[in-house]
Amino acid sequence: MSVRKSAAAAVMALAIAGGVAAETTPASANTSQGYISAGTGVVTTDWAGEGNLSTSSHAHSNATALWQAVLWADGNLTRTSQIDCRFGSATRDATRAWQRAHSLARDGIVGNKTFSKADNKLKLDSLSSPSTYVVHYDGSQHDVWFKVVNYRYQIRVKTSVGYKTAYYNSASACG
């Protein structure tokens, strides 16, 4: 069997066993697509290169809700009601605490380095296809699940609202 076929067989075996499929191409490197996108490789590179979130950049969005879920999972936000799609002072301060705990610059801005550090804690749960799967963020206090559909991350803040794409310019996930 050729090296390429052996590698492809190994990738499929990992996918079937709950591992991660495909190559290691990270997600796109900005907000131009309008949503937090998945790469075509390991989930631990999915958020590498995403755009900034802060009190002045995409401060009211589903992407902010996704980040707030990460903060809650690691205990930096203490109540699920703080996942409100609004990047205000509480989210900024929680982000600074998260960055300090992960040896990053404490600027309160979720940029490439912060997203890249966070995606290291993503774990693949189930795989429907290379572009549709479920992952969870393995937080120190809680786990949070995200759906990926057509390479777009989705978050569910409220059961009544359902899963919504983590858009940078829409806050529909928070009802």
Over range 21-46, report the average pLDDT: 70
pLDDT band at 125 (very low <50, low <70, confident <90, very high): very high
Q: Which of 11-15, 68-72, 86-90, 155-159 has the lowest mean pLDDT?
A: 11-15
Contact 54, 171 (CB under 8 A): no
Over range 54-83, report the average pLDDT: 97
Q: What is the reported pTM?
A: 0.83
Cα–Cα distance, 109 to 132 (Å, whole number)? 29
Q: Which of 23-27, 128-132, 166-170 has the lowest mean pLDDT?
A: 23-27
Helix pair 89-101, 62-73: axis angle to 10 deg: 50
